[in-house]
Amino acid sequence: MKNHSDGNWDLLRSVTPGEDERNRMRNKIRKSIRTQTGQKEKYGIFELKNVVLTALFVIISAGLLIQLQQHYQSADEQGQSQAVQDFTLNWDLERIYSKKNEEGYAFFDESNRKQVGIAEFVTEGEREKIISSRAMNMAKEMVNFPYPTSLYIEHVKMMDVSLRYHFFVEAGKEIMHISFDYPMLEYAEIFQVISSLDFNDPPPYRHEEQLYVTHGYGNLPYPVGISPIKLMGDTEKYVWDQGVPQRVKDYIENIKSTGLWKLIKDGGSSYTFESTDGSEIVIISVNGKEISYEYSYPNREE
């Protein structure tokens, strides 16, 4: 029995690795563990680098996009592309309507669908270019209009247009160029539009008193807000809704205050003025809400 046990023990010892072999195996296991640990650390660092690089790419790309956007926005703010920006613009003249186009807006006469004017945003440089490159005359500031407005008149050689009225309207930080063609649109209608302009921003200034303008190259003041009924030769007739007695009285005083006309006859509802050089006479008659003008030229050769 003892000899049999000793034989088994000797057999087991022969199968079990010796001390040297065990040391070699332990070293191999340690080396394997160190290698796996190093690989995990390497993979972790690699993944972290990927995250950092991706974040930097996103930040740089976003910065470039912002710079590009600012560049193109700046170009738009300085260029003519401002003409197509959206805005709210109202005026008191039912006969006229507008359509948007690439440059800005075009105005049309509802009665015949013909274009009678344009509106566009311009820069200061573009305004000066328009003024200097055309046959402009009679620059004047429109006093007490809804927005600071300057007027220029251009001579146009066209079949149905003789004069083109150019208005430069300062609406906040923007400059709007508005032009209308005469006689496609009558003088009174042109000024009716400009005097009733109403941008959404900034709001208009409304003068409480009557506004006056001259028509064409004449020097007789006309009240703003009259609507033409009949314009034929030397006779003109308008509707003046605000022509109450006090306003008529103020109007007559305004004509006298110019120093260019003298009242030679006052008939209560009819007033005869003569120009100071004696070359022109006009009879102004008021009948309810109608006001008429009858011109004559004593020194004109027939």
Distances (CA, A) of 283 to 224, 235, 251: 19, 10, 14
CB neighbourhood size of 118 (10 A): 20
Flag whether pLDDT at 11 surpasses 80. Answer: no
Q: How many residues does the chain have?
A: 302
Give 227: exposed, middle or buried? Use CB within 10 Å, 0-12, 13-18, 19+: middle
Q: What is the pLDDT of residues 217-272, one digit of tens each?
A: 899 999 999 999 999 999 999 999 999 999 999 999 999 999 999 999 998 899 99
Domain end marker among 175, 208, 241: 208
Domain end marker among 177, 208, 239: 208
Mean pLDDT on 270-285: 97
Number of domains in the chain: 3
DSSP3 helix / strand / coil % (the chain, rounded to 5):
35, 30, 30
Domain that holds residue 262: 209-302
- Based on the fold, state whether residues 15 and 88 are members of the same structural domain: no
Tokens 């004017």 correspond to 117
Question: Out of 103-107, 213-217, 277-281, 291-295, which region has the weakest mean confidence (pLDDT)?
Answer: 103-107
Q: The CATH number of the domain where 195 resides is what?
A: 3.40.1000
pLDDT at 31: 53
